[in-house]
């Protein structure tokens, strides 16, 4: 049976993993009959956001690995524990955690860097030429991992421009679309960069998951 790694970035859209995107990903994987293992880096979040008010909570810290365990029902490993030979593919849900914790795109834009342990983790899949799927804002890390990468974050002009500045080739897409870079075995979809509800988000996410699984053959 195939096993797919899922990289999380905390718990909550404004400072971690987008929960709907992560749960829909895990559901699609389970429905497709494949195993999955969640991973996250053992680092502190950039900050903590009160999801009721939208305000940053001063003097509060949270750990990305510990928070990701909320989404994974405790079944999550540190990214440093990866044995890439045990996995057929990788999927990375979005949420601001991808731009705040996994990378610093939220603060540095096109000058961003990927967190060192996360970069090593992502590069393992790239070097092994294994299929990967990135959704929402997570594709902004791709130009730091792959050369001449084709991908989408949807249709936001400023973010697409930053992606191209980083050396990528952005492709505009609708919420229901996936963009497939066959050469790099990378699949992307906008998800909540464009989705207005969970049902809309699910269309592209399910397509992405199924395409990634298909590419593992």
| Residues involved in catalysis | 136
Band of pLDDT at residue 5, cut at 50, 70 and 90: very high
The CATH number that applies at residue 14 is 3.40.50.880
Tokens of 215: 């590419």
Report phi then psi at 63, rounded to 5: -100, 135
Answer yes or no: are the C-beta atoms of 67 and 38 closer than 8 Å. Answer: no
pLDDT (tens digit, 9 = 90+) per residue, 45-101? 999 999 999 999 999 999 999 999 999 999 999 999 999 999 999 999 999 999 999
Question: What's the domain range around 29?
Answer: 3-215
- Reduced to 3 states (helix: H, G, I; strand: E, B; else coil), residue 214 is helix
Q: Is 86 left (phi over 0), alpha (psi -120 to 50) or beta?
A: alpha
Percentages (nearest 5) of helix, strand, coil residues in the chain: 40, 20, 40
What residues pair up with 35 in beta bridges, in sequence order?
3
Total Cβ atoms within 10 A of residue 111: 11
Report the run of H or E that residue 212 belongs to, with start and end.
helix 198-215
Tokens of 135: 């959704």
For 7, how many CA atoms within 13 A lie in the half-sphere containing its CB?
A: 36
- pLDDT at position 62: 97
Domain count within the chain: 1
217 pLDDT higher than 90: no
Name the residue with tokens 């029902």: 73
Please give the model's pTM, rounded to 2 decimal places.
0.97
- pLDDT at position 72: 97
180 pLDDT higher than 90: yes
């Amino acid at each position: 049976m195939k096993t797919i790694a899922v990289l999380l970035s905390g718990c909550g859209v404004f400072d971690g993993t987008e929960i709907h995107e992560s749960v829909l990903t895990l559901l699609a994987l389970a429905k497709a009959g494949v195993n999955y293992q969640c991973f996250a880096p053992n680092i502190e979040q950039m900050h903590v956001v009160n999801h009721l008010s939208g305000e940053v909570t001063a003097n509060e810290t949270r750990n990305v690995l510990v928070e990701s365990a909320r989404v994974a029902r405790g079944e999550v490993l540190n990214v440093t524990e990866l044995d890439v030979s045990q996995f057929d593919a990788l999927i990375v849900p979005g949420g601001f955690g991808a731009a705040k914790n996994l990378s610093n795109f939220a603060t540095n834009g096109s000058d961003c860097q990927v967190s060192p342990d996360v970069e090593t983790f992502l590069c393992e899949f790239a070097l092994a030429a294994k299929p990967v799927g990135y959704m929402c804002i997570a594709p902004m890390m791709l130009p730091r991992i792959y050369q001449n990468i084709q991908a989408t974050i949807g249709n936001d002009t400023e973010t697409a421009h930053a992606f191209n500045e980083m050396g990528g080739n952005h492709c505009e897409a609708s919420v229901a679309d996936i963009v497939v870079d066959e050469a790099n075995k990378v699949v992307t979809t906008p998800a909540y960069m464009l989705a207005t509800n969970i049902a809309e988000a699910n269309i592209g996410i399910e397509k992405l998951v199924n395409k990634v699984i298909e590419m593992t053959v």
